[in-house]
Structures are given as C-alpha cells and as structure tokens.
A and B are shown apart, each in its own frame.
Chain A
Amino acid sequence: MSDQPNLPPPPRAPALEAVNVSRWYGNIVAVNDISFALPPGITGLLGPNGAGKSTMLHMLSGFLQPSAGEVRVFGEPVWQNEQLYRRVGLVPEREAVYPFLTGREFVEMSAELQKLPNPKDAAARAIAMVDLESAADRNAGGYSKGMKQRIKIAAALVHEPDVLLLDEPFNGADPRQRLHMMDLLRSMAAEGKTILFSSHILEEVERLAEEVLVIVAGRLAASGDFREIRKLMTDRPHTFTVRSSDNRTLAAALVSDESVYGVELVDGTLHVRTSEFAAFTMAIPNVARTAGVSILELRPTDESLESVFSYLVKR
C-alpha cells in the first residue's frame, strides 16, 4: 500500500489548444497572441478576409510553425509531430484532388496511409457517410466542386479522427449536400469529436456551430457561444421587438423603467433598446402587468451571429 494520498487523475488536455500563438511574416503580423482551448463539439472559425483565419487553421493543422506560442492536440505540440495525424483529420480549402485516382482510390489511399487494418472497408464506410457511393468509381478529376468537397471529407474522416479541421468545407456544395454534411458533422460532434471549421457564410456557422472563434486583424476578438458573447457586449444596446395588446401604453410604461434605453413605435411595432439584457427581460413582464397590457411576442432583433460578427469587425 502506498503512503501517498489518493491523487485525483490528471486533468485531460483539451482536444485542440492554442497557447499565446503568434505568426508573422517579416513585419506583418498575421496572428497576434491568440489563446483558446476547444471542447468537444462544433466550433466555427470566423473572420473577414485577411484576418488570419487560414494562418490559424494552418498552424492548427501543423502546416505552419507558430512564430511564438504553441498549438497542441491532446496536450502534444502539433508542429513536426506527424504521429498526431492518427487523431486528426484535415480538409484543406483548395479543391485539388489527385485527378487520376477514382474517389474510392483516393479515400483508400488515405486509409492505407493511416495504416488501417482494412482500408477498403474503412473507405467504403467513409464514402457512404458523405453519400458519394454512386460516383466513387469515377475519376475524381471529373468531379464537381461539391463532390470534391465530399470526397475530401471522406478521406479526412476515414480513420475516425478525434479532431476534424475543415477549411471552408461547404464551398461548392448544393443545399441538399450542405444539409447532409451538416448532419454528418453534428453526429460526429454528438460522438464527442472536436470539430473546427472556417466559413465566410455566417448562416452556416450559426446553424452548425455551438461555439465561435472570431478573428479580426490577427487577434481573437471573441470566443464562445455567440449569444453569450452578444449579452456581454454591454457597450452596445440590445434591441427587442415587442408585439402587445397595446403597444403605445406599453411604450409609455417601459420608458420609466431603468433598464430601458429607448423606445420607438414604427408601423405599429414597438422597438425597445436596453443596455441590460437580463434586467430588461426580468422587468418587462412586471411592467406589462402593471400597465394592464398583454405581451404577444418578445423577440431580440440583433442576437444573430451576423449582428455579433459585424459589431466585432467594426469595433
């Protein structure tokens, strides 16, 4: 028996982690002192063009060396650590595929390079997951943009990685394929995989990502659930649209509430601005009850990811 007290197990390292990561090219700073740790689930990487998204993704995938700081997967540095690719799947942005290989051969090649015991079966499973069986035996050089994206995803997840990095994965995919891929990524996230994808289409990120990383001018402008981020932006009033049994009376009553910043009646709709999200949502039922007004609908109008993103970018 050991005399030492029972120690708690060491904390599990995050699946994907950036620690004070910077990258510069000569005098140009592409990524500036970014730190984050991603939990299992889907995270969207957002940023305007040239913000440093691709640089960040390339560092996360081990294809760029950070000038300072470190990128880690399950606690291990990514740079010059090819064995980590057993646990990481990568979908690069460029739509290049080997044009002389069929889709099936391409995915089988990935399975063989991952040293899977049965590459053919693994490839068939991955191709089925991206719904590309019908075209799997055609040369990938003749694939449409969307098909190339899907076969790249199949090749990236053939070894069932714990971490999946996707650079603009929905480029060229039609709406049906997009929905299918979103469902696929959601199911992987539900299995505990960590998925990070970049996209310039905010609607995609809003529909798919539980968390966002927003990079603006090389810096991490925000990270986390974008609705929570929005609530923390106290320097910018929140806007609500209210429909009630008597908008004018409610407007008069709300003006006297401390949490309300301003009210506006436009075309019979009441718009309320508040600087305190929580205080307002707690106050409005009492205000309405006291004024004898029934609230029919209360909707935050600027809680979308687009609103959060444009605010962060303009800031």
Chain B
Amino acid sequence: MNATIIRLTFRQLLGQKRTMLMLFFALIPIGIAILFRFAGDDEDPRQWTAQTLLGGLTVGTFLPLAALVFGTAALGTEFEDGTAPYLLSKPIPRHQVVLSKLFVAWVATASVVLVVGLVAGIIGIWGEQESGIVVGYVVAIVIGALVYNAGFIWLSIATSRALIVGLVYVFLWENIIASLFAGVRFLSIRQFTLGIAGGIMDVPERIFDPRLGFAAAVILSAVAILATIWLAIRGLRRWEIGEAG
C-alpha cells in the first residue's frame, strides 16, 4: 500500500457531498431502533434485531449502499474528474494503487456501518441476552464491507457506470432475485455477510437462520475478495484513457 495515495483518498472522500449524505443515512437505523424500543412491544427484540434491524436494514441496505458510495468514489472519481493520469503516471505498481484505494474505501465503509450496527444493535436488544448477535454482525460487517468494496472498486475500473451497475446488483440481484431463488445465495455478498454473522451468533433458528453456513460464507467471501482484487489490478494495468482525438 502507499501512504500518499491513502492520505489523498481519505481527503477525496471526506470532501464529497455523498459522504455527508451517508452520515445522514447512518442515523436512520439508529432512529428506527429507538422507535422500536418505544413502539414494538409485540416483537421479540432479539429476533427483530437479528433479522430486521441488523440483517435487513443495516447489512441488507445500509452496508451495500455505503460500500457502493465509498467503493465507487475511491478510484472512480479519479476517472470521472480526469485526475487519474496524475496518479497513474507515477512509478507506483498498480496493485499498490488498487490496495490503497480499497483500504480507504473499506475503512470508511466499515467504520460508518460498524458504528450504526453497534449502536442500533445495542439499542435493539437492550435488556435482552446478547447471544453474540451484535458481535456476530460487527465481524460480519467488517468482512462484508471488504467484499463489497473490492467488488465496487473493480466495477469502477471496469465500467464508467459503476454506480448504476452497483445499484442494480444490490437492489435487483441481492434484494429481489436472491430472495426468489435460493441457489443465487452463492453469488450474493449479502448472504455471505449474513452467513458469517449467523455462524458467530449462538441463537436458535427461530431467531436467525441464514441461508449459508459459516464455513461456506467465509470461503466464498475470501474467493470474492481475491477474485475482484485480481480483476481490479488487471483492469487498472490495462486501463486506457477514454478520449481519443
């Protein structure tokens, strides 16, 4: 990794409006958790927290959205703004560029989603037995953030419409198609993340029952991370400037 690129990318991300928007969205799961404590009397707090608050809202929606914003911005804005040649006309191996950008996107995504997951999770199961629900999700969010970001960084190199393709993947593939067809779970980062969280929790199936086992989720996550990083490095080595005249 390269410290200069890491510093530059942090400043890039911090100055963007979409980062501010993400921080605003972060308040939503926390707000809903507070609302649940006051109004959700009929629900089992552990089940609701594991399935709806952390599984659905945080991991199912907020994590991919944050990863999409940070993952596509980390390198994608360099291409969009025309600053990529400054970075790529330096004697820096392309894998250092990809890994540095990925590191920043991962830290940004994981830290925002972790805080949200941790605070919302604690509020959600306040007064109940924790049984590894929050801890499971904390670990899962860290790994899930890395899988998503590696994928979105690769997307930002492979296509100039990374944000749109990413949105289609998250909302069409993961939310609709993966919920209709069980076989698709092997191609869903959301299912990998839920599988890791489920493997760490010590709760009955009634409370949380992921579609993937822990070992499968970890292996698939590792494969996805390595494959997309490799594709991203390969893509950046072959990257060509768009305009020609």
Q: Mark B1-42, 1 if CB is under 8 A from A, else 0.
A: 010110010011001000000000000000000000000000
Instruction: Compute how far the CA of A163 lies from the CA of B82 in the bound complex, rounded to whole angstroms.
Output: 22
Max count, chain B CB within 10 A of own CB: residue among A25, A88, A98: A98
Selected contact of A64 from candidates B12, B86, B87, B240, CB within 8 Å: B240
Contact assessment for B91 and A114 in the assembled complex, using a CB-CB cutoff below 8 Å: yes
Cβ-based interface call for B179 (8 A): no
Cβ-based interface call for B90 (8 A): yes
Instruction: Compute how far the CA of A64 lies from the CA of B243 in the bound complex, rounded to whole angstroms.
Output: 10
Q: Please judge, given known A-B contacts A54-B244, A54-B245, whether A82 and B82 are in contact too, CB under 8 Å.
A: no
Cβ-based interface call for A274 (8 A): no
Selected contact of A94 from candidates B12, B82, B89, B238, CB within 8 Å: B82
Cβ-based interface call for B88 (8 A): yes
Number of interface residues of B (CB under 8 A): 28
Q: Which residues of B contact A50 (CB under 8 A)?
A: 245
Instruction: Compute how far the CA of A241 lies from the CA of B90 in the bound complex, rounded to whole angstroms.
Output: 52
Q: Which residues of B contact A23 (CB under 8 A)?
A: 244
Contact assessment for A115 and B82 in the assembled complex, using a CB-CB cutoff below 8 Å: no
Q: Mark B89-123, 1 if CB is under 8 A from A, else 0.
A: 11111100000000000000000000000000000
Instruction: Compute how far the CA of A89 lies from the CA of B91 in the bound complex, rounded to whole angstroms.
Output: 11
Instruction: Compute how far the CA of A114 lies from the CA of B87 in the bound complex, rounded to whole angstroms.
Output: 10
Number of interface residues of A (CB under 8 A): 38
Contact assessment for A65 and B8 in the assembled complex, using a CB-CB cutoff below 8 Å: no
Cβ-based interface call for B81 (8 A): yes
Q: Please judge, given known A-B contacts A65-B238, A98-B12, whether A110 and B244 are in contact too, CB under 8 Å.
A: no
CB neighbors of A among B211-245 (8 A): 237-241, 243-245
Q: Which residues of A contact B204 (CB under 8 A)?
A: none
Contact assessment for A83 and B241 in the assembled complex, using a CB-CB cutoff below 8 Å: no
Chain A, Cβ-Cβ closest to B90: A113
Contact assessment for A82 and B93 in the assembled complex, using a CB-CB cutoff below 8 Å: yes
Interface residue ranges, B against A (CB under 8 Å): 2, 4-5, 8, 11-12, 15, 81-83, 85-94, 237-241, 243-245
The 4 closest A-B CB pairs, nearest first, are: A96-B82, A94-B82, A113-B90, A54-B245
Interface residue ranges, A against B (CB under 8 Å): 23, 25, 30, 49-50, 52-55, 58, 61-65, 80, 82-86, 88-90, 92, 94, 96-98, 100-101, 109-110, 112-115, 155
10 contacts between A and B (CB under 8 A): A25-B244, A50-B245, A62-B89, A63-B89, A63-B241, A80-B238, A85-B89, A85-B90, A86-B91, A92-B82
